[in-house]
Structure 1
Amino acid sequence: MAEAGGLKAGAIALQRFGLGPKPGQGEAARAQVHDRLLAEIAAGRVAQPEGVTFSGAAEIGKALYDFEDQEKREREARRVAVAAPASDTQMASAVPQGLPAGSQNQMAPAPKPANEPALPYRTYRDEVKARVDLALTAETGFGERLVMFWSNHFCIGATKSNMSRIMAGAYEREAIRPHVFGRFEDMLIAAESHPAMLDFLDNRQSVGPNSLAGKRRGRGLNENLAREIMELHTLGVSGGYAQADVTNLARIITGWTVVGREGGLGLPGSFAFNAGLHEPGVTPLLGRRYDQPGKAQGIAALTDLAHHPATARFIATKLARHFVADTPPRALVEKLALAFRQGGGDLSSVYRALVEDDAAWRAPASKIRSPQEFLVASYRALGRKPDFGQIIGPVGVMGQPFWQPSGPNGYADDNAAWASAEGLKTRVDVAAGWGRQAAGSVADPRVLTEDVLGPLLSPETKQAVARAESKPQAIALLLMSPEFQRR
């Protein structure tokens, strides 16, 4: 651990468990990192981003439906304008009876400012910026790294629809952050019942065949969410379930839906249980029978999945792979799985076992930072406060835009995904751009390199930075050094 391994182990730990050092943290941060990690776990909470547009899913849902209704009116107005002759007489005749002449201008939708993006993208933009700002100000950043891990584990795709884009940030704020240091089952239930997840994996389209709506509409199950709950969120692909279990879980969670714009079941855009969509009766799952009424049936099934031994091992393996190595030590995985089982899914117990294990400190820094981690670590090291374009542009070209994985399995968490020749070339280009942007604010790249890398600084990197042809090049060499790239 930090005490036994000295400042070099502490320097690795700042990168392995946190978001990387900031200028001026120095030896104190490296010497105290072990205690700081345990203090974050003991505090039991992560901060929420500030300055976001909407407070949560319900407020967002109403704004989204209003936006879509307005867009529909604008499309219809454009269609009518194209179809109708443009003479003043005919324009006047289009004014509804009872309205004074000239009042057609009052009916027209207010134009958006030129070049202003639509509401879903503006909201996404503000959420991304607030999330990155929070990561840049975090002291060590262990909690923020855990948010990134769990948000990717229970991922959604912001490009699926207007709803998934506008709610991506709220999903992380409501379903992930409150439970990072809590119980896995609470995070699981919060994630699977959030409107963003129900939209992303189509559960709002799932109808029990024998439900009232199923008999009336002739519609049936959508198994997307049920399959990913078992394969990606709990048991894992080798967790011992069969296709029949996927189908039965889909039956159990029918009725878990999103309130429509009419607000019949609650606040528009919020989660609701619709009994008229729910498959009635007793349903078996993994050898157990679930006969609870309504929503309680799904809660019971998810709770049992959260406490399944296969889930403990699956989560332990993913955490060890994320923080330690692509092929983590088997003993470490077993230790984390045991902590998960003994703590009843208490995640703080699992993190404590990880931080207290010598193997997690002794392992060489072999994991390459993902593009999002690289961006945050670089801006922290350079002391920069980026705007949205300086965030979304770099992570986009490096292949990891926020909340936009290509599938429900999230972004890959191994070196093969990020260390390709093309991927590293892109990083060089990005680092060169950051070097040019930061050159005016960095007094001496050599001093910054020693400050940021500390005992990790190799003679080769020190010499390369010292011999750089320019200040921008020296900064880029720091950011692309093996010591900075790997954690």
Structure 2
Amino acid sequence: MQPHDLPMIAPKSIVSAFMPPHFFGTNKLMSKEAALFALTRFGMGAAPGEVAAIAADPRAWVLEQLDHPAVPPELSGLPDHATTLRRMEEIRKAKKTNPELGKEEMRRLFVAEAAARTRAAISSRSPVVERLVRFWSNHFTVSAQRHHVAPIIGAFEREAIRPQVLGHFHDMLRGVVRHPAMLGYLDNAQSIGPNSPAGQKQRKGLNENLAREILELHTLGVNGGYGQADVEAFAGILTGWTIDPAGGFFRYVPNRHEPGPKRLLGKSFDGGEMEAERALLILSRDKATARFVATKLARHFAADEPPPALVDGLARAFLDTDGDLLAVTRLLVTRNETWAQPLAKLRSPEDLVVAALRLTGIEGGEDFDRRLVQSLNLLGQPVWSAPSPAGWPDRAEGWMAPEALMLRLEWLKALADRRGKGVTAALAEQVIAAGPATRQALAGASGSEALFLLLASREFQRR
């Protein structure tokens, strides 16, 4: 059966088929269900044999990865941002005589980066860390929709996000804001203080994009108590933070920095490069930042409507530990509210692809990498390509359009046709906690049919 041979289902029925199942009965999970929960909610999906391996203490499995994270070998050998930016500068200069120079080279680099990142999630020995990397990378979105930063987004994630997911929030925030990918994506590299020497000479002014998004999306949140005057002041504070085009690294340019006093969140600033350093530290310690980050963490790891008590607890821990993300994440894992609603979250397209390939296995070679990246494009979540600085949605409603769910089914059917040989319904017992409806559908099925029914089940679609 080809994808177009799928049974016709009314749009409303498609959506209802992906609503959370209610077969757990109580909030107290048995060992198998708890293991599945840990693998799917905190990790990237269950592979055959993993449930049995961690069933004795699923929470300990999660906590062990926080204490001893592993670096995926798939990410070794990829270029740092400076190397790529220097190459991009060489290409830019040479394009005067060869306009097509570098296009294919940069495209291949992006595909290699995107595929390596996805392979890492599929095969990682620390899938909990891979989920955290995705959470924080989405929080600090840099999107390939701005083509001039696309080739260095992989380096941005490896350099500014990955090393700090279990570090301190301020260190991650500082690394993100100073990284050329963010400076380029949100245009701060071109922002010049209008009263600075460079501004007076070039008659150029502030760009508020980075300042606004740091306040709205990265720290305080849209209701965090700031106004337009704060955005303008912060934009002035950030002037001079730019990119060295020849060296490909961050640099501070004093003659582009807006001189004079500025006032952000009721505090005075007047100190050159260190203005921005001080501002980021103040923002990272603000109560509004703690609550905003806690809410997003609770939404990602507990439920679309996060439990208020969990948000309160995480916000307190964030403030009490000066933004220690290891301490905050450990609390998140140990709080009962985080474990109280199994399968409350709909898998995003990336989650679905990774989970399906953790179950069925991956292939080697550049052709597989290309198809892997194309799969995410087809399903509506291309790697590092969120439509705005707000990132990808983290609620089910963002992924439940009938057309999007039909594309899931078609992709899963094609995968089942390729990988279903020898599969029996018994596989379901290793990777999902199948409810009565799923058990009935799988009864007597085998091969590609059994694999498709498993992948398309409500239980597999959720985490």
In structure 2, the residue matched to 1:427 is 408
Give the deviation of 1:43 after TM superposition: 2.6
**Aligned to 2:97, what secondary structure does the other structure show?**
helix
2:236 is the alignment partner of 1:251: yes
Q: Which moved more, 1:457-466 or 1:14-23?
A: 457-466
Q: Deviations over 1:285-341 (max 9, x none)?
A: 10111223x321101101110110000000000000011111011000000001100
Structure 1 residues 340 and 48, CA gap change in structure 2 (3 angstroms): farther
8 A Cα contact 2:420 2:449, kept in partner: no
Partner of 1:385, secondary structure, is coil
* Equivalent pair of 1:320/1:328 in contact (CA under 8 Å): yes
- The CA RMSD measured in Å over matched residues stands at 1.9
Supply the distance in 2 between the matched residues of 1:140 and 1:476 (Cα, whole angstroms). 27
Do 2:219 and 2:284's aligned partners in 1 also have CA atoms closer than 8 Å? yes
Which residue does the alignment assign to 1:282?
261
Q: Deviations over 1:154-184 (max 9, x none)?
A: 001112123x111010010011001000000
Contact 1:48 1:177 in 2 (8 A): no
> Aligned AA for 2:438?
T
User: 1:467 Cα shift?
Assistant: 4.1
The aligned counterpart of 1:38 is 63
Deviation per residue, 1:78-118 (Å, 9 max, x gap): 9xxxxxxxxxxxxxxxxxxxxxxxxxxxxxx9xx9xxxx61
Q: Following superposition of structure 1 onto structure 2, how do residues 184-263 of structure 1 map, counting pairs within 5 Å?
A: 184-260=169-245, 263=246
Correspondence for 2:4: none
Change (3 A) 1:45 1:237: farther
Q: Is the 8 A contact 1:20 1:380 kept in 2?
A: yes
Contact 1:44 1:181 in 2 (8 A): no
Q: Which residue of 2 aligns with 1:104?
A: none
Deviation at 1:383, TM superposition (A): 2.0
Specify which of 440, 452, 457 is matched with residue 463 of structure 1: 440
Contact persistence 2:47–2:358 (CA under 8 A): yes
Q: Distance in 2 between matches of 1:274 and 1:445?
A: 64
Among 149, 154, 157, the alignment partner of 1:172 is 157
Could you list the per-position Cα deviations for residues 368-393 of structure 1 after superposition, in whole angstroms to 9, with x for gaps in the alignment?
Answer: 00111111010001122362223122
Matched residue type, 1:62:
R
Percent identical: 41
AA paired with 1:208? G
Check whether the contact 1:23–1:383 (CA below 8 A) recurs between aligned residues.
no
| Corresponding residue for residue 341 of structure 2 | 363
Q: CA deviation at 1:140?
A: 5.2
Q: 1:141 aligns with which of 109, 127, 130?
A: 127
Q: Is the 2:143–2:389 contact (alpha carbons within 8 Å) kept by the matching residues of 1?
A: yes
The one-letter code matched in structure 1 to 2:48 is P
Other structure's SS at 1:284 match: strand
Q: Which amino acid aligns with 1:211?
A: S
Q: Is the 8 A contact 1:155 1:408 kept in 2?
A: yes
Report 1 or 2 for greater relative contact order, CA contacts < 8 Å, sequence distance ≥ 6: 2
In structure 2, the residue matched to 1:445 is 424
Instruction: Please show how residues 18-33 of structure 1 align to structure 2 within 5 Å.
Output: 18-33=43-58
**Conserved? CA contact 2:221–2:292, under 8 Å:** yes
The equivalent of 2:448 in structure 1 is 472
Which of 320, 323, 332 pairs up with 1:354?
A: 332
Alpha-carbon shift at residue 471 of structure 1 (Å): 2.2
Report how far residue 121 of structure 1 moved. 1.2
1:329 aligns with 2:307: yes
Shift of 1:124: 0.8
Matches of 2:347 and 2:461, distance apart in 1: 6
Aligned pair partner of 1:58 in 82, 106, 110 = 82
- Amino acid in structure 1 at the alignment position of 2:151: I
Hey, what does 1:315 align to over in structure 2? 293
Q: Is the 8 A contact 1:321 1:328 kept in 2?
A: yes
Mapped to 2, the partners of 1:301 and 1:251 lie a distance apart of: 11
1:51, distance to aligned residue in structure 2 (A): 4.3
After TM superposition, the score normalised by the length of structure 1 is 0.85
SS in structure 2 of the partner of residue 215 of structure 1 = helix
Higher Cα Rg, which structure: 1
On the 8 A contact 1:255/1:273 being kept in 2, the answer is yes
Using a 3 Å threshold, how does the CA distance of structure 1 residues 48 and 270 change in structure 2: closer, same or farther?
Answer: farther
Partners of 2:172 and 2:214 in 1: how far apart?
12
Alignment partners' CA distance in 2, 1:392 and 1:312: 35
Find the residue that maps to 2:56 and give its secondary structure.
helix
Residue 151, structure 1, aligned to residue 129, structure 2: no
Aligned mate of 2:94, from 67, 70, 73: 70
Letter of the structure 2 residue corresponding to residue 18 of structure 1 = G
What SS does the corresponding residue of 2:211 show, helix, strand or coil?
helix
**Maintained 8 Å contact 1:52/1:130:** no
CA pair 51-126 structure 1, distance change in 2 beyond 3 A? farther
CA distance in structure 1 between the aligned counterparts of 2:320 and 2:189, rounded to whole angstroms: 35
Amino acid at match of 2:261: V
Aligned length: 434
Q: Residue 324 of structure 1 aligns to which amino acid in structure 2?
A: A
Structure 2 stretches lacking a partner, 5+ long: 1-26
1:105 equivalent in structure 2: none
Further displaced range: 4-13 or 472-481? 4-13
Query: Does the 8 Å CA contact 1:7/1:27 hold for their aligned counterparts?
Result: yes
The answer to whether the 8 Å contact 2:38/2:62 transfers is no
Separation (CA, whole Å) in 2 of partners of 1:147 and 1:351:
12
Tell me by how many angstroms 1:45 deviates.
6.5
Q: Secondary structure at the match of 2:251?
A: strand
Structure 1 residue 340 corresponds to structure 2 residue 340: no
The residue identity in structure 2 corresponding to 1:253 is L
* TM-score with structure 2 setting the length: 0.90
The structural deviation recorded for 1:460 is: 2.1
Cα offset for 1:444?
Answer: 2.3
2:38 pairs with 13, 22, 27, which one?
Answer: 13
Q: Distance in 2 between matches of 1:309 and 1:459?
A: 46
Letter in 1 for 2:441: A
Structure 1 segments unaligned to the other structure (5+ residues): 79-108
Distance (Å, rounded) in 2 between the aligned partners of 1:415 and 1:206: 37
